Structure 1
Amino acid sequence: MGDVYRNANASASSSSSLNSSSHDTEDDHTIAEILTEEEKLSYDNHKLGKRPATYSLAEMQIEGDGNCQFRALADQLFQNPDYHKFVRKQVIKQSSG
């Protein structure tokens, strides 16, 4: 009777191992996808980080107040983000005319 118990236990353990192995494989696949995506993002960020230098520009922290795009343009064009109103007017003028 002890042998029957051991065999049933071994079968349950083997079945549990297969389920665990399948789950581990799915986890490994998910982790690989996440790592691949992180590597791609890292490469894209690295590549994007070099782009401003191509045009003799520099990445700067700009106040996020709704004018940030125009502040960024003003900073790059005039080395002063405070000229954002002038840049906005010029963009609007160009867009509407």
Structure 2
Amino acid sequence: MGDSSSSTSRSSKNDTEDDRMIALMLSEEYSKLDGAVGRRLSNLAPVPHVPRINCYIPNLNDATLDHQRLLQRLNVYGLCELKVSGDGNCQFRAVSDQLYRSPEYHKQVRREVVKQLKDCRSMYESYVPMKYKRYYKRMGKLGEWGDHITLQAAADRFAAKICLLTSFRDTCFIEIIPQYQAPKRELWLSFWSEVHYNSLYDIQAVPVQHKAKRKHWLF
């Protein structure tokens, strides 16, 4: 019985390492961004980012108005959203698309973000108004909405400056900077109404949506 359990554990660990290796290779392949989105928004002054949990969910009316405001901003700057599924994983799907040119690696992104939260507790605990272990365990579940703390953890984990073009009336552009290292890449996301994230591109360079090239054992 013990041998069988050990074998299963080793197999699971090997699969996780394989997942990370595939994700790393894809990340390196797509890490040299052309900066097209950044050039279009170069005149915008970013608002400092404050890590926090989700606290306000708008009603349908407000959310619809907010998205219209975001679409107007996208049109002004010649940008386009590559839409990801609104299944509770949208933040991780959008980050996955920016890193790997596919939203389908969202599980890997979530695992890496939760590992960052666990390994670097002192960097995030003060922003969490609940038992910290409960918080990161909850964030490890598929379908759990990401928040501004997981965005900071993602920026730190992937050495990425995460740039949000938002629907907020007074806050158009937010930057999330890695806390203890220089960013090696930029990830561009749209964010509307505390509800949904999409992946953001220059309208002339938006890629054709495609399925990730995955081995049968990936996710």
The interval holding the TM-score normalised by the smaller chain is 0.3 to 0.5
Task: Identify the structure with the greater helix proportion.
Answer: 1
Larger strand proportion of the pair: 2
Task: Give TM-score scaled by structure 1 length.
Answer: 0.42
